[in-house]
Amino acid sequence: MSGPARVVIVGASIGGLTVAESLRDEGFEGEITLLGDEPHLPYTRPPLSKQILAGEWRPEQAAIRTAAELDELGIRVRTSRRATGLDVEARTLHTADGPISFDELVIATGTQPRPHPVLAEASTLRTMDDALRLRERMDAARRVAVIGSGILGSEIASAARKRDAEVLLVGRSGALGFGGVGTLLSEDLVRLHEAHGVELALRAELVAAQSAGAADAPDATALEFADGTTRTVDLVVTMIGGTPRTDWLASSTLELADGVVCDRLGVAAPGISAVGDVAAWHDPITGRHRRVEHQSNAIEQAIAVAGRLAHGGEGAPPVPLFWSEIHGARIHAYGWFDPERSLAELPTAAESAGIVYGSHDADGELRGIVGWNAPPREFRTARAAVVTTARPLIHHS
């Protein structure tokens, strides 16, 4: 079949691996090389803040494919291989182990945790090794502070409460966020955390931290806040957002602006695409370039890019889909959400114990939905009603 002879993928998480697998599913017979900077074979990341951190899974349970399966698919995986630069014109990827030529390159390097200005050395979570270290520290902690009011902050607070630790969840904005839904679910999340014994400090500015170790708590840290209060905890975890891993692309000619800037099909430059958390695709609904930090989005983008590379043409851009589990509540979101418009509860079956919320645009069309413990059938029904045509979600005067 026609198409590139050699595809190189940088980033061996779910987005990068899905590109490789989908290429084979589409009948691509060329060479596929998948590079990852970790020593592990590809694994799925959502369990890190859920099952792995909770001690419910062993690390190998998060693996996506075995070495034998990858070999059978003809996917050449290179672990511990760090990308250091890119020559767009010469079609050459530079790595710590030497240059690699390509016909098509897919960038799937994800994000890295943003360091906290006061707690630069605090625990954080991105990789499997991070999760295992954090789990060990969490097992020994009686008092845990989580700095960060997004999804991962909520998930880590939930994991700590499963261990019966006292948990302080700290934010600055006054609200809790949930990915692309923004803070529209904040009141629901506040009630959920409070019902499970999490102490919330959502308008707290952390100004200093110092060791407060003692014989019975050698790793204790005293946190000082702008209002003069001080809290001493055994473990501090910071999750204040991620930054796209694009440092290695700084000398390339790609456009970088909160990620690798792509068109609506994921093309960053001729022969170069990007998927997942690192990719800022043009969103035809909002008219802006935006990143969506969730595994489901990475998978959808990867499938779309693989189809384009294998067959050419244009597929439909993916619709944002993300989910989380916090204190046992399963929360799914699909579509686009206008931060200026409140969610409205949608009708569900009389016997349903879950809730489905809808987000409507200025013309009353359903653009996004949230399922809160909603049965799969209810969520699928609501999802089918979401309007995904490319008309602006937000009208500007």
CA distances from 14 to 21, 34, 45, 47, 65 (A): 10, 11, 8, 12, 10
Please give the torsion angle defined by the CA atoms of residues 131, 133, 138 and 140, in that order, rounded to the nearest 10 degrees.
160
What is the Cα–Cα distance from 74 to 67, expressed in whole angstroms? Answer: 11
Looking at the domain assignment, is residue 329 inside a domain?
A: no
How many secondary structure helices (H) and strands (E) does the chain include? Answer: 8, 26
Residues 225 and 122 reside in one and the same domain: yes
Clarify whether residues 120 and 221 are in a common domain: yes
Residue 212 pLDDT: 79
- pLDDT value of position 216: 63
> What is the span of the domain harbouring residue 201?
115-238
Any domain includes 396: no
In a shared domain, residues 50 and 102: yes
In this prediction, residue 217 has a pLDDT band, given cuts at 50, 70 and 90, of low
Asked whether 239 and 125 are in contact (CB, 8 A), the reply is yes
Work out the percent of the chain whose per-residue pLDDT is above 90. Answer: 81
Q: Is 350 a residue whose pLDDT tops 70?
A: no
The angle, 0 to 180 degrees and rounded to 10, between the axes of the packed helices 151-162 and 186-195 is 10
Residue 287 above 90 pLDDT?
no
Q: Are 167 and 159 in contact (CB under 8 A)?
A: no
Confidence class for position 390, pLDDT limits 50, 70, 90:
low
299-329 pLDDT, tens digit per residue, is: 999 999 999 999 987 777 788 888 999 999 9
Residue 30 belongs to a domain: yes
Q: Is the pLDDT of residue 395 over 50?
A: no
End position of a domain, from candidates 183, 209, 238: 238
Between CA 148 and CA 153 the distance in angstroms is 5
pLDDT band at 100 (very low <50, low <70, confident <90, very high): very high
Which three-class secondary structure state does DSSP give residue 353? Answer: coil
In whole angstroms, give the CA distance from residue 20 to residue 1.
17
Residue 367 belongs to a domain: yes
Q: Are both 299 and 253 inside the same structural domain?
A: yes
For the chain, what percentages of helix, strand and coil (3-state, to nearest 5) are there? 25, 30, 45
Range with the largest mean pLDDT of 43-47, 185-189, 307-311, 393-397: 185-189
With respect to residue 327, please indicate whether it lies within any of the assigned structural domains. no
Task: Say if residue 205 is in the same domain as residue 273.
Answer: no
Q: Are residues 96 and 120 in the same domain?
A: no
Dihedral angle over CA of 24, 26, 30, 36, nearest 10: -50
Q: Does the residue 231 lie in any domain?
A: yes
CATH number of the CATH domain containing 290: 3.50.50.60
Q: Are residues 90 and 147 in the same domain?
A: no
Total domain count for the chain? 3
pLDDT score of 1 more than 50: no
Handedness of CA 264, 331, 178, 22 (dihedral sign): negative
Q: What is the mean pLDDT of residues 162-172?
A: 95
- The answer on 247 and 228 residing in a single domain is no
The model carries a pTM of 0.89
Q: Give the position of tokens 């014989």.
A: 215
* Distance in angstroms (rounded) separating the CA atoms of residues 284 and 388: 10
149 and 89 assigned to the same domain: no
Residue 352 pLDDT more than 90? Answer: no
Q: Do the domain assignments include residue 389?
A: no
287 and 346 housed in the same domain: no
Task: Retrieve residue 53's tokens.
Answer: 């951190």
219 has pLDDT over 80: no
Same domain (yes/no): 227, 127: yes
Tell me the DSSP string of 194-220. HHTTEEEETT--EEEEEE--BTTBTT-
Residue with tokens 């694994």: 43
On whether both 97 and 152 belong to a single domain, the answer is no
The CA-atom distances, in angstroms, between 106 and each of 7, 102, 282, 319 are: 8, 10, 17, 20
Which of 238, 255, 284 is the C-terminal boundary of a domain?
Answer: 238
* 89 — pLDDT class (breaks 50, 70, 90): very high
- Among residues 238, 253, 270, the one where a domain terminates is 238
In this predicted model, what pLDDT tens digit does every residue of 226-284 receive, in sequence order? 999 999 999 999 999 999 999 999 999 999 999 999 999 999 999 999 999 999 999 88
Is residue 20 one of the residues assigned to a domain? yes
pLDDT tens-place string over residues 198-210: 999 999 999 999 9
Q: Which residues contact 366 (CB under 8 A, 6 or more apart)?
A: 335, 358, 359, 360, 385, 386, 387
